[in-house]
Each structure stands twice: as C-alpha cells, then as structure tokens.
Amino acid sequence: RRTADPQPHQVRPCEVSSSRVNAQPTFVMSKKGKGGTIAQLPVETHQGLETTPLVTAVATPICIESGEDASSDDKISDEMSYWERLKEVLSTVLVLGMVTFGDSSSQVAIIQDEVCVQRKWMSEETFMELFALSRALPGPLATQLVMATAITRAGAFGGLVALFIWVAPGAVVLTTIGVLVEAYMSPENLPLFLVGIPPATAALVFKAAYGFGVSLDKFGFGLAMLSCVGAVLVNGDYAIQPKASRFAYPIMLACGGILALFDATVCTNSIGSYPRAGELDTSITRYISLPVWVGAFLIQTWVVILLASILLVNVGDYANNPYLDLFESFFRIGSVTFGGGEDVLAMLETEMVPEFISSTRFFQGLGLAQALPGPLFNFCGFIGAVYKDVPGALVSLLAIFSPSYLFMLAALPLWARLRQIYWFKAILKGINAVAIGFIAAATIFLWERSVETAADAMIFVLAGGLSTYYNLPPPLVILVAVAMGAILNAASLGQIPYD
C-alpha cells in the first residue's frame, strides 16, 4: 500500500552544454535516507529526457555531465580535514611567493589564476568579492588578497601562515642586502650594477600610476588630481613640516570618501558611476570561526596599538627609542595605505628620508624590491635593515603588515553586511581614487630625485617603454636597466647633470 499520494512521472529536458553534445550524461536522483544520508538512485533516460519512477517520497532529480562535478559557487571539498586544507594553503602560497613579480595589478592576475583556475578554491564571482574587499581595506592589495583567500580556506591561522610565507622570500633577500649594502657599500661610490636601478624604478611607478588612472571615471579622476596636488604641496612647501603627511594623507582619504558619498547620494545627476550592492555570499565566511564581536574587538585592538605607539614616541622615556620610532612610522603607514604598495611611496619617502635612510639608499632598495617576488612592502624590511640591521628589519616588517592582518580578520565576518550598503561602496570608491592620486604624486618626486643625468633619462625612457608598451616583466626591466647603467657609466656616456 502506498502511504503517500502517487507522484506522476516527472519529465524535464536534460541540460547539456551545446559545446559538449557528444558527452554522455549521467543521470542521478538524490533521496533522503535514514539518518539524514543521501542515497543515489539510478534514473532511466530516453532521448535527452530523464524519467523519475514512482517513489514514496519526494526526490529531487539532478543532471550532471560525465567527468564533472555539479557546479557550485565554490568548489571546496567539505570532506577535507583542516590540516589538509592548511597544507594546501601552504603549498599554494609558497608558489605564489616565488613567482608573483610586478605591480599589484600583475600580482592579482597571477593570484586569480592560481586560486580560481589551477586550484579551483572558489568561483570567479567569489574571488571578485574578495578583491573588492581587499581593495577597500588599508594595506597592500595583493597581500590582502592572499590573506583573504587563505582565511576563507583555512581560517585565521591559515591566513597568518599564508602572510608569513608570502612575505618571506623577498623579505629575506632584501633584509640581507640591506645589512650588507650599509656595511660594505658607500652611497657616494656605488657599484656599477646599482646606478641604473633608480631611473628604472621611477619608470615602473609611472606605469602603475597610468594603469590605475585610466580606470577611473570623471569624478574619480578629479579626486585623484586633487589628491596628487595636495600630496605635492605637503612634500614641496617650506612652511609645511615633512611629518605633516601623517595627518594630511588620512585627511585627504577621508575627504575623498565624503565627496564621493555626496556625489552618489545627494547629487541628482552624479558625475561618477557607482556599483550597486551585491547579493549576500555566505561562502566568504565558510571556514572562518570568528563571530562579529571578535571583528569589532580586533578593530579596537588596532586603535589601541596605533594611539599607544603615537603617544609613546612623543612623550616619556621612549621618545628616542629607534625601534619604537620604526614601529610607529610603519604601523601608521600600513594603517592608512589603500591599494598597492605604489600608493605609499610618497608618504614612505617623506617619513623615511633622511631620518631612517638616505635618498640614494631609498631608491636602491625600491628598485631591488620591484625586481623581487612578493609584495612591494618588503621594501620596508630593507629600510629597517639599513637603519638597525636584522632587528630593525623584523620590527619594520611586523609593523607594516600587522594592520593588514587585523583589518582582514575583522572585515571578513562583517563584509557580508557592509557590502549590502550602497553608500558604503561609494565611500570606498572615493578613497581608492584619492589613493591613486598619491601614486601620481610619487612619480613626480621619483623623477626629480632619480633622474640626475642624461644617462639616467635614457634608462628611464628605455625602462618605461619596455614595461609599458612591450609588457616586459619588472625583473627583466630592472636587469636591462642595470646592464645599461653599467655600460653608460663605464663608458662615461650621458654624464652631463641636470641643473
């Protein structure tokens, strides 16, 4: 006897991709079994249609192609143990730390290919959600994205381990060079293989500024121009103290967000274009076991560390502690830097030169950082090593990357709610535009201080053309600049200085 109303035969067309007409579809039907398990039942097929036999419980027919899993938002195996996922994160980030050269845009493209195409950790849509989140938070863009993908895969500890592995290769090399260069190389008598690096570095930053600038709309480009003018004024006026940048840059970022909010919500005809709020995506926090209140606590922790470090370097017995000075400067810079490492160059130069490092050493280290894999913020390890050897490098790296980790851990549980708010997305877009203006300001100062002779200008043109038009990777651009600089200086060609 049947205990339920009989179900008529359910017939629906099988969805087979037109590009896979010859694929043999496998039809299965899922049914709830005892104990909540899923029992797979065969389903009869006939001429592209599937037929479900009479059953005593309602079942859901599923059609999948042979050799493929059913597509889902994120192809993450729930059967994998935590340690298996953590091991996978370690191996993936280790590869990324070795091969990701170039500016932030280039690094993001490499990360996307590895995470979405090679590893299939998540869909393109989820990756773009994390990209938007990383772009919105203070800190280096590629580093934020590495941590975000690792945290959603292996939790908070996985994100911390991923950060360490991502930073380590380039940071170790730059720290070693920073210690050796200060001990064995005189800034006045540079070896020939270093003289071509500063103008090549300036060319690479010009390329980054151009790439970010052309992506802006009219309103964003206007904000970028104003922030560029403001950054130049802060760093180029006798009446303004160099350390005023620690307040001027955050104020300009806040003003950019407010102006974008006004344009998006108050103006009848907005000048800029603003994205709509996305749908809720719970997969972002799949493996994050942090409640919302922990995120709020982490933000409070960041505020306490920031305020305490600022107070300690200005009052009391710690005012002249060199390690505390390093920590406060880098922690504050890491807390107000949006986008790629290129965004922070103007502020970094103002803060570091000449208090912690000479201008010559600054550009040497910057060029080396661009020639190595990993984040450009590894350059901070070079500055710390030049100033106070290995302990200085460790303090600098800890301070510059700590805000990024705290912000990412705090934001992931909250992002599902915040990204639903239209006005919040508008504010973030204005902040990003201002940060791009800071990159443009950095190009002005880089040109002035790195191109001193006709030979430097020749290297600048060559490096800019190779990187921008021919898309030559930054490590190769630096190598070409090193070779050309050595040849020009050895042959005494183009040595007339600019006044």
Confirm if 27 and 60 have CB atoms less than 8 A apart: no
pLDDT, one tens digit per residue, over 368-386 is 787 777 888 888 999 999 9
Task: Output the CA–CA distances (angstroms, integers) from residue 289 to 144, 194, 367, 444, in the order listed.
Answer: 19, 48, 40, 45
pLDDT, one tens digit per residue, over 327-357 is 998 998 888 776 666 666 777 887 888 888 8
What is the pLDDT, as a whole number, of residue 203? Answer: 85
For residue 275, whether the previous peptide bond is cis, meaning omega lies within 30 degrees of 0, is no
Residue 321 identity (one-letter amino acid): N
Q: What's the mean pLDDT in 425-446?
A: 82
d(CA 431, CA 429): 5
pLDDT, one tens digit per residue, over 133-152 is 777 788 888 888 899 889 88
Confirm if 50 and 37 have CB atoms less than 8 A apart: no
d(CA 29, CA 60): 6
Tokens 């049914």 belong to residue = 31
What is the pLDDT, as a whole number, of residue 9? Answer: 47
Q: What's the mean pLDDT in 436-447?
A: 82
Lowest-pLDDT range, 85-99, 151-165, 179-193?
179-193
What is the pLDDT, as a whole number, of residue 190? Answer: 59
pLDDT exceeds cutoff 70 at 32: no
pLDDT exceeds cutoff 50 at 186: yes
What is the pLDDT, as a whole number, of residue 224? Answer: 92
Residue 17: φ, ψ to 5°: -60, 140
**What's the chain's average pLDDT?**
76
